[in-house]
């Protein structure tokens, strides 16, 4: 036999001093009655009370306490096999919203294309929780993990370049923010989908990827952009081209897709890298890959042996004894006698006249 809660199990030691206390309290009660007056007179006064029943009530309370402690200790014995059912994924999308996402090598631009494809992905999700982390020079949670896909779409629609005021591209901070956003406790599969051009201008993201691998989080990356580099247009409110983004020296800035960095991140965590194409961001491929892994887990039926909870075998006797104690009276049963053809009940309590006579004597 095993016990699930050793705190109450250790309290079983209280039964020994409890038994001694009840025994002492009973003796004190008897001695108090003897000190009350003449022993014979006292015996007559309490003649209608059954001392064996009083003792029995104390014994019942003792066992109620004992069985209750054992039940609270959660006794376990016997084993049963339980099938582990695979659950859905927790998916956090880390979306780059830096200025480089304004490049138009993906029409109408990188960010608009990514938002459109993400919206389509959310529409296809079933049973998977989705969340959104946006990043530039820093990272913020735009949408925590949720099954409310409509709310996720609304929050996605509000994302734009400038949603993160810190300039730059901090992939490492985005990965760490995703890791912080996963709820405590293990899930069947935790996934980060990183959508960026791969140019980390803040720090090396390798350490963040290694941390994700230690925590069992898989990173899929979608490289969006041109490896050869393209300029970043700056357009006015009417959509007209004003100029191209320039650095402090006045040179036109070009944004290149860093595929090597993204491949290394995915390789570290066991994920996969997908280069974006003009017609799709490969999000469907990632979704299909995750669902295939989920189906494989379902096919691999796993059993675990668990001890059966047996507290009810002690809780039920405790309740029965408690009810019995409450229903039990400490009065003696009346003796039925037949006098002249009539039956009447007579108990052993002294009559008032007898009490007065004994008091006068």
pLDDT at 180: 92
> Region 55-70: what's the mean pLDDT?
88
Evaluate if residue 38 carries a pLDDT over 80: no
| Domain ranges within the chain, ordered by starting residue | 2-74+311-360, 89-304
Query: Is 89-304 CATH 3.40.50.410?
Result: yes
What's the N-to-C CA distance of the chain in angstroms?
A: 65
Are 159 and 142 within 8 A, CB to CB?
yes
Among 48-57, 128-137, 288-297, 313-322, which stretch is predicted with the lowest mean pLDDT?
288-297
pLDDT at 97: 93
Omega within 30 of 0 (cis) for the link into 108: yes
206 or 348, greater pLDDT: 206
Closest C-alpha among 283, 287, 304, 306 to residue 295: 287
Instruction: Say which DSSP state 11 is in.
Output: G
Label residue 355 by pLDDT band (50, 70, 90).
very low
Per-residue pLDDT tens for 224-241?
888 877 777 777 676 666
pTM value is: 0.58
Residue with tokens 């963040």: 208
Per-residue pLDDT tens for 145-155?
999 999 999 99
Are 87 and 111 within 8 A, CB to CB?
no
Evaluate if residue 266 carries a pLDDT over 80: yes
Strands 129-135 and 217-223: unpaired
Close Cβ partners of 106 (under 8 Å, ≥ 6 residues apart): 113, 114, 224, 225, 276, 278
């Amino acid at each position: 036999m095993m016990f699930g809660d050793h705190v109450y199990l250790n309290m079983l030691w209280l039964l020994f001093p409890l038994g001694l206390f009840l025994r002492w309290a009973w003796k004190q009660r008897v001695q108090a009655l003897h000190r009350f007056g003449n022993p014979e007179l006292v015996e007559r006064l309490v003649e209608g009370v059954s001392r064996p029943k009083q003792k029995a009530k104390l014994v019942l309370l003792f066992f109620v306490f004992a069985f209750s402690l054992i039940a609270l200790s959660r006794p376990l014995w016997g084993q049963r096999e339980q099938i582990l059912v695979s659950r859905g994924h927790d998916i956090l999308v880390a979306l780059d919203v830096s200025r480089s996402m304004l490049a138009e090598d993906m029409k109408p631009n990188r960010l608009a294309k990514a938002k459109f494809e993400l919206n389509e992905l959310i529409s296809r999700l079933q049973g998977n929780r989705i969340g959104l982390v946006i990043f530039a020079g820093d990272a913020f949670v735009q949408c925590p993990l949720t099954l409310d896909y409509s709310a996720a779409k609304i929050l996605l629609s509000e994302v734009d370049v400038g949603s993160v005021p810190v300039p730059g591209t901090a992939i490492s901070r985005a990965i760490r923010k995703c890791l912080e956003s996963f709820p405590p406790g293990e899930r069947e599969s935790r996934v980060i989908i990183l959508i960026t051009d791969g140019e980390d201008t803040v720090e090396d993201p390798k350490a963040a990827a290694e941390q994700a691998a230690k925590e069992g989080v898989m990173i899929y990356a979608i490289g969006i952009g041109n490896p050869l580099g393209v300029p970043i247009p700056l357009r006015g409110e009417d959509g007209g081209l004003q100029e191209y983004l320039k650095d402090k020296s006045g040179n036109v800035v070009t944004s290149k897709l860093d595929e090597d960095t993204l491949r290394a991140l995915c390789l570290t965590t066991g994920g996969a890298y997908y280069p974006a194409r003009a017609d799709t961001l490969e999000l469907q491929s990632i979704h299909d890959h995750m669902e295939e892994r989920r189906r494989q887990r379902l096919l691999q039926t796993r059993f675990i042996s668990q001890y059966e909870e047996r507290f009810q075998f002690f809780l039920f006797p405790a309740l029965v004894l408690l009810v019995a104690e409450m229903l039990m009276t400490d009065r003696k049963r009346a003796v039925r006698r037949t006098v002249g053809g009539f039956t009447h009940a007579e108990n052993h309590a002294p009559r008032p006249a007898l009490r007065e006579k004994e008091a006068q004597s």
